[in-house]
C-alpha cells in the first residue's frame, strides 16, 4: 500500500472524521477517552491485554463510573467502538493514544514497563502518516527518551514519517462537573507538526480548551506539577491536623475560617491519607528523575512522608480513644466505613484504607469494612468482602471509623446508634445531634 506522508493528509482525515482511532489501555483513562472519540464520530478500536475487559466493552457492559452506560451500549451497537486483545489491528488505525498504568515499584521508582510494552506493540505495526500520543502520567522525558526511540527503531522518523506527542490525562473520578469531554487538554508534540496534528484531533473531540505547549517535556512536567501541588497542600493540611489535635483545636473550623479570605488561600483538607492513582504516586516520578540532575526535591519528599504516615496516625488515634474505655485494639470491634479513596466512587486504588486494614490486621482488631460502592477488595493478595451498614453493626462496634464520606451513609443513624465515632473526613458536620462519643481528625 502506498502512503502519502504529510500532516495535511492526516489532518484531512481528522477533519472529515474518516481517521480510525486506537486507544491502548481501557481503564479509568482509556475507556472514557475511547467513548468520547467514538461519540465524536470516529471509528475507535480499544486495545487491552485483559480478555474479560475486552469482552465487557464488546457487550456494552460498563465498568467505569465516568462512562454513561447507555452511551457505551449505543456506540458499541452502532459499530463506532470495538475492543480487542489483537494488537495487530493497530495497523488499521491512523492515530493511537497510550493510556496504560505507570505505577511505582517497591522502591518508589517509576515502573514504565507498560508504556514500553505498548510502544513496542505499536512499533510492530507503525506506518507512515500515523499519530501516537502518550497520555499516561510519567516523568519528564519519557516520550522522547523511551517511546520515540522504540518507534524510530522501525526506520520511520518522527516529524517526517509519523507524529508523536504527549497529552496528560486529566481524570477526576466522581466529579459531577468536569469529565473527559469538558476538561481542558494540554498537548506537546516532538515537532511543531506533531503538536499541530495532535491538537487538531483533541479539538475535534473535546469541548474544553486545547492548550498547546512547546514540547512533550513541558506537558509531562505540567502534569506532575498539577498533582504535586495537591500532594504538598494536602500534606500541609494533614500536618496542621496533627498539630491541631495536640493543641485541642478543630482543624476543620480553622480551614472554614481561612477560606473566607477571597484571595491568597485555597482550601485543602486533611484525611486518613492519600488515594487514587495520581496524587500519591506522580510526585515520586519527579523526585526520581531529579536525582539524574543531582537535585533532591525536599519539599515533595517531606509532604509524601507526612501523607504516607496518616494511616498510622489514624490507627494510633483509635488506640487512644479505645484506651479511654479500658479497651485494647487487639480484639476490639472496629467498623470501617469506606474503602474507596474518595466519596461516591468505586475506586480504591492507593486508598489509605488499604494501609489501615493492614494495621488493623497487625494489631488483631476484629474489624469489618463497609462500602456501598465496593463489594470486595484485595490487600497484599488477601481478599476482603464489605458488609452492609446495619443498626446491629453500629451498636455492636466498639468504635466506628469513618474513612470515606460517602453520601449513601446514613449519618443520622450513625450518630444515634454508634457508641464511639472517629471521623477522619468531617462527614458528620451536617448532623445536628451526635449521641456517640465523637472525635474528628
pLDDT tens digits, residue range 123-170? 999 999 999 999 999 999 999 999 999 999 999 999 999 999 999 999
pLDDT at residue 43 above 60?
yes
Residue 7 has pLDDT above 80, yes or no: no
Is 194 known to be catalytic?
no
Q: Is the CB of residue 57 less than 8 Å from the CB of residue 81?
A: yes
pLDDT band at 39 (very low <50, low <70, confident <90, very high): very high
Please determine, for residue 191, whether its predicted confidence score (pLDDT) is greater than 80: yes
Across 156-165, 283-292, 384-393, 399-408, least confident range: 283-292
Q: Is the pLDDT of residue 31 over 70?
A: yes
Residue among 99, 194, 244, 278 flagged as catalytic: 278
Q: How many residues can be counted in the chain? A: 441
Angle at the Cα of 53 (from 51 to 54), degrees rounded to 5?
A: 65
Q: Which residue's entry shows cell 497542600?
A: 233
Write a three-state SS string for the chain. CCCCCCHHHHHHHHHCCCCEEEEECCCCCHHHHHHHHHHCCCEEEEECCCHHHHHHHHCCCCCCCCCCHHHHHHHHHCCCEEEECCHHHHHHCCEEEECCCCCECCCCCECCHHHHHHHHHHHCCCCCCEEEEECCCCCCCHHHHHHHHHHHCCCCCECCCEEEEECCCCCCCCCCCCCCCCCCEEEEECCHHHHHHHHHHHHHHCCCCEEECCCHHHHHHHHHHHHHHHHHHHHHHHHHHHHHHHHCCCHHHHHHHHCCCCCCCCCCCCCCCCCCCCCCCHHHHHHHHHHHHCCCCHHHHHHHHHHHCHHHHHHHHHHHHHHCCCCCCCCCEEEEECCCCCCCCCCCCCCHHHHHHHHHHHCCCEEEEECCCCCEEEECCEEEECCCCCHHHHHHCCEEEECCCCCCCCHHHHHHHCCEEEECCCCCCCCCCCCCEEEEC
At how many degrees (to 10) do helices 352-362 and 310-323 cross? 50
Average pLDDT for 298-317? 95
Check residue 65 and give its pLDDT: 83
Under a CB-based contact definition with an 8 Å cutoff, are residues 420 and 399 in contact?
yes
What pLDDT sits at residue 8?
Answer: 55
Amino acid at each position: 500500500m502506498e502512503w502519502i506522508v504529510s500532516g495535511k493528509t492526516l489532518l484531512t482525515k481528522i477533519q472529515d472524521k474518516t481517521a480510525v482511532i486506537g486507544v491502548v489501555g481501557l481503564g479509568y483513562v482509556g475507556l472514557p477517552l475511547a467513548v468520547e472519540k467514538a461519540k465524536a464520530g470516529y471509528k475507535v478500536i480499544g486495545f487491552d491485554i485483559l480478555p474479560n475487559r475486552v469482552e465487557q466493552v464488546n457487550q456494552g457492559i460498563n465498568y467505569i463510573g465516568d462512562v454513561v452506560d447507555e452511551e457505551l451500549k449505543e456506540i458499541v451497537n452502532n459499530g463506532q467502538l470495538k475492543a480487542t486483545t489483537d494488537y495487530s489491528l493497530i495497523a488499521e488505525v491512523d492515530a493511537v493514544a497510550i493510556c496504560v498504568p505507570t505505577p511505582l515499584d517497591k522502591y518508589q521508582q517509576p515502573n514504565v514497563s507498560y508504556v514500553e510494552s505498548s510502544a513496542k506493540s505499536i512499533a510492530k505495526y507503525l506506518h507512515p502518516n500515523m499519530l501516537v500520543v502518550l497520555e499516561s502520567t510519567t516523568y519528564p522525558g519519557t516520550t522522547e527518551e523511551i517511546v520515540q526511540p522504540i518507534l524510530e527503531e522501525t526506520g520511520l522518523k518522527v516529524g517526517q514519517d509519523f507524529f508523536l506527542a504527549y497529552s496528560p490525562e486529566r481524570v477526576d473520578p466522581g466529579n459531577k462537573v468536569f469529565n473527559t469531554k469538558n476538561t481542558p487538554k494540554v498537548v506537546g508534540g516532538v515537532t511543531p507538526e506533531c503538536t499541530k496534528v495532535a491538537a487538531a484531533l483533541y479539538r475535534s473531540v473535546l469541548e474544553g480548551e486545547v492548550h498547546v505547549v512547546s514540547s512533550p517535556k513541558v506537558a509531562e512536567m505540567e502534569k506532575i506539577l498539577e498533582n504535586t501541588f495537591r500532594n504538598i497542600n494536602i500534606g500541609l493540611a494533614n500536618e496542621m491536623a496533627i498539630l491541631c489535635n495536640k493543641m485541642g483545636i478543630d482543624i476543620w473550623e480553622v480551614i472554614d475560617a481561612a477560606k473566607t479570605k477571597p484571595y491568597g488561600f485555597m482550601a485543602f483538607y486533611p484525611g486518613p491519607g492519600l488515594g487514587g492513582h495520581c496524587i500519591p504516586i506522580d510526585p515520586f516520578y519527579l523526585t526520581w528523575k531529579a536525582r539524574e540532575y543531582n537535585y533532591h526535591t525536599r519539599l515533595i519528599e517531606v509532604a509524601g512522608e507526612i501523607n504516607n504516615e496518616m494511616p498510622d496516625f489514624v490507627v494510633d488515634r483509635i488506640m487512644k480513644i479505645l484506651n479511654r474505655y479500658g479497651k485494647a485494639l487487639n480484639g476490639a470491634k472496629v467498623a470501617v466505613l469506606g474503602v474507596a479513596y474518595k466519596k461516591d466512587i468505586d475506586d480504591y486504588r492507593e486508598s489509605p484504607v488499604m494501609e489501615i486494614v493492614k494495621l488493623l490486621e497487625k494489631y488483631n482488631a476484629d474489624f469489618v469494612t463497609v462500602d456501598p460502592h465496593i463489594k470486595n477488595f484485595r490487600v497484599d493478595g488477601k481478599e476482603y468482602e464489605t458488609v452492609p451498614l446495619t443498626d446491629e453493626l453500629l451498636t455492636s462496634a466498639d468504635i466506628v471509623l469513618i474513612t470515606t464520606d460517602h453520601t449513601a451513609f446514613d449519618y443520622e443513624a450513625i450518630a444515634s446508634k454508634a457508641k464511639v465515632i472517629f471521623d477522619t473526613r468531617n462527614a458528620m458536620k451536617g448532623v445536628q445531634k451526635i449521641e456517640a462519643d465523637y472525635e474528628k481528625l
